[in-house]
Chain A
């Protein structure tokens, strides 16, 4: 009897199906549960933090969000992060697309060397240059301002941008330029008027990734803005959050702040997810 059920092909197919969906549910749970936990904690009261953990807030409250938005340091750091990340992304896109066009489409001596330099830069350990960067940031007079971050983030954003965009440029068919040259366009005109519009989707992806990477950056932000609380970015503020009452770690508030910072990112990622995966695989970028 049992034997016949096990050999029944339809049963096996169904079993496979069930196992597949079990695995899918497991993965979704794995990826989402901590996020859900942060979300639900952000609505809990401070006193609930000391009771046994519960999956839903016992007395849901918006107080944490209220505190967070009343906290000047946090609001300020949101502003800083937005400014730093968007300027860094724009700068990296402009400078990076120039370099990528040169590396992907033009013939010149030294191209291979430049490609290797860019590639090795993508693996550069930022901590190794921290002490040297201090000096340079000080000399430029940027220390303790968001400018310090805009000036130093290209260390890790630019090589990645150049690398991803180079592979996009290389993927475009050669006939495009040949036609343009026949029509009498200069190489720069070809770049600006023909190739750049064609890579617009790639630019959106790369820009978004550059934005996310600088939004999440911690090491430089921690070091170059220590002297000036007004220049801190969101990761630093959250790592050092003391909240309204400094006696106890205000975990619920921290989670509310974390939600404010993360939800826009998650929404962006969900909207552009297809493109991001493409961009990431093209650049095999760091996480």
Chain B
């Protein structure tokens, strides 16, 4: 940065006239940008085809219902984007006004704003060029250079002007502005400068899509479909989550005994005809103990989803418990002293490093339903089973098979997390306990477990969150045959194209996981200092 020459440096004696022409120009530019942002946004909204369609709608055979203008707006722009535009434009205007008055602090912030605006316009320019060429390639037409240049004029011009002002301001800031620039203010500016890329990415690829999912879950939108979506309130949720409990009796044989299937399960009567017509289907029957052939039939309007929740919960509870037990065992073994401990730790990382898709296909091969499947062969050699089992196509074996694969892949990983916790426990504790005559079992329950609690909690909750959103494994192993919550969501969205409905599923999954995540965050208690 150039040193200010003495004659341009405003001395404290001439404090009265602090505002300089450049300050006024830059302040004015910022205010103009702030206003322009709102204007451009309003024009974009009013020009949007979806919104224009809703506004200019007249009843026709294809579109008999009045489309909601509000929905058209929310669907396209959401809430975050308008709020962001409004906030930023106010921020620009207020900084602009302060720069106009010659404030050094505001001038520094102006530098931040101008730099990111330049970068933003640069990205817009690159994207415009990319998309023009892409569209031309897709339609096998030559690139319309004239139109491309036309659409580039505004962003490039804006970039040059704003970038130029930023460059000038960076070099001349001290000459025209005065005041104190504290270290804390510098740190704050640097912090936001460094955080802006992360924030921008979060807003673009996480917050905006999540917001759209929430909005769509209240509509009957169909994916990539024609027709205009309408608000349907909470109908999607009602359809998904309605559950009925009814008592039903078992189907009886001629002799009055309950009829039983080949695999030993009781045959239950179905729920009443009226309910069936309302769309209720039985998900499962829970026999009432000590009753003569009665059970509670759990039925739902969307029994696939209720079934998927059920499957996912069982999968989560059983596989996380299994991983915990096996993982703890492995961690304790590897924590003891022996040659080749380092190698063991590396070996235990291998299942984790294998992509889930590949481990699913690998287990598909190992679980093959003939004696060509190694699991069948080994179990038959050990006389655990008599005939080859169809692990992956027999419905009652599918879930255990999926759990087995998941436990295989993640138990060693869990062990490594627990091992890190074990290594923080001081050895003298065990020695002292041994001297006092505590048995190994006693030592495990009185020393190891209590001191391992933090590591256990973290490992458990992370695994629980992962198990609740399991997708790869179920998708590759079962396709549509056995659904987890995530694969059900995927099927409703991609195969059935029910975007509104699928969004409601997404929101339910999101809430499920948020509850666990909330507990986790509370337990972890983020260090704030």
A contacts, CB < 8 Å to B: 20-21, 23-24, 27-28, 30-32, 34-35, 37-38, 41, 49-53, 95-96, 98-99, 101-103, 106-109, 111-112, 114-121, 123-136, 140-141, 151-152, 154-155, 158, 162, 170, 181, 186-188, 212, 215-216, 218-219, 222-223, 234-236, 238-239, 251, 254-255, 258, 261-262, 265-266, 268-270, 273-274, 276-277, 280-281, 284-287
Contact = CB atoms under 8 A, between A and B. Distances in A.
Main secondary structure of the interface of B (DSSP, over half): helix
A74 to B, nearest CB: 13
B209 A270 contact: no
Contact of A128 (B360, B363, B365, B507): B507
A239 B459 CA distance: 29
Q: Which of A24, A38, A127, A258 has the most chain B CB atoms closer than 10 A to its own CB? A: A127
Contacts of A119: 521, 524, 526
Contact of A125 (B205, B374, B409, B509): B509
Interface stretch (B260-268, B330-338, B427-435): B330-338
Contacts of A170: 527
17 contacts: A24-B338, A52-B372, A53-B373, A53-B376, A108-B187, A119-B526, A123-B517, A129-B210, A133-B209, A162-B198, A235-B356, A235-B357, A265-B355, A269-B352, A274-B342, A281-B417, A284-B417
B443 interface: no
B458 A284 contact: yes
Nearest to B190: A187
Interface in B328-376: 329-330, 333-334, 336, 338, 342, 344-363, 365-366, 370-374, 376
Contacts of B57: none
B480 to A, nearest CB: 14
B206 A262 contact: no
A277 B355 contact: no
Contact of A131 (B371, B409, B503): B503
Contact of B374 (A53, A99, A107, A162): A53
A131 to B, nearest CB: 6
Given A235-B356, A254-B365, 8 more contacts: A98-B197, A117-B202, A141-B127, A141-B135, A187-B190, A218-B476, A219-B490, A286-B462
B317 to A, nearest CB: 18
Given A108-B191, A125-B513, A216 B211 contact: no
B416 interface: yes
Interface of B: 127, 130-131, 134-135, 183-184, 186-188, 190-192, 194-195, 197-198, 201-202, 204-206, 208-213, 216, 223, 329-330, 333-334, 336, 338, 342, 344-363, 365-366, 370-374, 376-377, 408-410, 412-413, 416-417, 419-420, 458-459, 462, 465-466, 468-469, 471-472, 475-476, 486, 489-490, 493-494, 499, 502-503, 506-507, 509-510, 513-514, 516-517, 520-521, 524, 526-528
B332 to A, nearest CB: 9
B350 A266 contact: yes
Contacts of B190: 102, 106, 187-188
A234 B361 CA distance: 13
B198 A95 contact: yes
Nearest to B388: A52
Contacts of B202: 117, 121, 158
Contacts of B206: 121, 124, 129, 155
Contact of A34 (B373, B408, B502): B408
Interface of A is mostly: helix
B458 A239 contact: no
A115 B191 contact: no
Contacts of A53: 371-374, 376-377
Given A129-B506, A212-B353, A280-B417, A41 B489 contact: no
Nearest to B462: A284
A23 B328 CA distance: 13
A274 B346 CA distance: 8
Contacts of B499: 131
Given A155-B205, A276-B349, A127 B377 contact: no
A207 to B, nearest CB: 15
B195 A98 contact: yes
Instruction: Kindly name the residue among B191, B334, B506 whose own CB sees the greatest number of chain A CB atoms within 10 A.
Output: B191
Contact of A129 (B213, B370, B514): B213
B161 to A, nearest CB: 25
A35 B354 contact: yes
Contacts of A51: 372
Contact of A114 (B187, B195, B408): B195
Contacts of B475: 218, 222, 239
B8 to A, nearest CB: 23
B421 to A, nearest CB: 8
B358 A261 contact: yes
Contacts of B359: 34
Contact of B513 (A31, A32, A123): A123
Contacts of B489: 127-128, 130
A123 B520 contact: yes
Contacts of A96: 198
Question: Closest 9 CB pairs between A and B?
Answer: A132-B209, A132-B212, A129-B209, A216-B355, A98-B194, A235-B357, A99-B198, A123-B517, A102-B191
A170 B527 CA distance: 10
